[in-house]
């Protein structure tokens, strides 16, 4: 079960919310002087957003969110994904992470390297939300008329919102809450986002060695 049957009357990590705006500042270059004011701010109202702030840190009129977005059309090329897109949320065998033809086109050295790495996440920055009646359907592939209401979030697209009514996770506008993850799904989200931020760059690995 991906979603809890009934929502709790609190805001939790991974909750799907409605009614919050998204702001994106755009600059041509770093603003290093007061005279340099070359920027603009894009404002969107995503139809749904997901809570990224840990439960116990929801307080002081601030919350971190990320918009719920449509899946990539390329996902349907991978039969392992297309049977259940939430498989992207979990570690998998190397040959499951790419379409069969792409795996077959890899040279033997590349295959052996991936096999040696063992089970890994295919898309470190993405987490897929299971289909639900509250989520509108759309065509993930318009040409083949493949319809779905799976959605996803991108860990690279997290933003902060200040809201006067968010004082704590219990003292917040619960009316904005649409869906709540099951304990298992929230655990998977937590584990994947931890893995996303815990990656060690190659240059740091060399220093550790």
Residue 163 placed within a domain:
yes
Strand partners, 181: 3
Tally of structural domains, the chain: 1
Q: Are 11 and 55 in contact (CB under 8 A)?
A: yes
Element (H, E) at 17: strand 16-17
Instruction: Classify 89 in phi/psi space as left (phi over 0), alpha (psi -120 to 50) or beta.
Output: alpha
Residue 10 lies in a domain: no
pLDDT digit string, tens, across residues 49-60? 999 999 889 989
Q: Residues 31-72: pLDDT tens digits?
A: 888 777 788 999 988 789 999 999 889 989 999 999 999 999
Instruction: Calculate the alpha carbon distances from 9 to 5, 54, 77, 169 in Å.
Output: 13, 16, 40, 9
- 82: in domain: yes
Residue 35 placed within a domain: yes
| Rounded distance between C-alpha atoms, residue 15 and residue 55, angstroms | 10
- Would 3 be classed as within a structural domain? no
Q: Model pTM?
A: 0.91
Tell me if 46 is assigned to some domain: yes
Start-to-end Cα distance in the chain: 42
**What is the tens place of the pLDDT at every residue in 133-192?**
999 999 998 777 889 999 999 999 999 999 999 999 999 999 999 999 999 999 999 999
- Domain limits at 151? 16-198
Residue 51 covered by a domain:
yes
The answer to whether residue 159 sits within a structural domain is yes
């Amino acid at each position: 079960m991906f979603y809890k049957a009934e929502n709790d009357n609190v805001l939790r990590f991974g909750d799907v919310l409605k009614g919050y705006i998204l702001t994106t500042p755009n600059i041509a270059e770093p603003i290093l002087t007061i005279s340099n004011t070359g920027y603009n701010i894009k404002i969107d109202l995503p139809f749904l957003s997901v809570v990224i702030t840990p439960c116990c840190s929801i307080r002081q009129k601030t919350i971190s969110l990320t918009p719920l977005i449509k899946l990539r059309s390329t996902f349907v090329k991978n039969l392992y994904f297309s049977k259940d897109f939430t498989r992207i949320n979990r570690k998998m065998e190397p040959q499951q992470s790419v379409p069969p033809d792409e795996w077959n086109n890899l040279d033997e050295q590349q295959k052996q390297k991936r096999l040696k790495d063992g089970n890994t996440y295919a898309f470190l920055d993405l987490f897929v939300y299971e289909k639900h009646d509250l989520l509108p359907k759309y065509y993930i592939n318009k040409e083949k008329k493949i319809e779905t209401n799976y959605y996803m979030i991108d860990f690279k697209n997290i933003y902060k919102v200040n809201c006067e009514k968010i004082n704590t996770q219990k003292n917040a506008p619960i009316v904005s809450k649409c869906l709540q993850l099951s304990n298992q799904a929230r655990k998977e989200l937590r584990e994947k986002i931890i893995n996303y931020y815990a990656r060690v760059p190659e240059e740091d690995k060399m220093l550790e060695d």
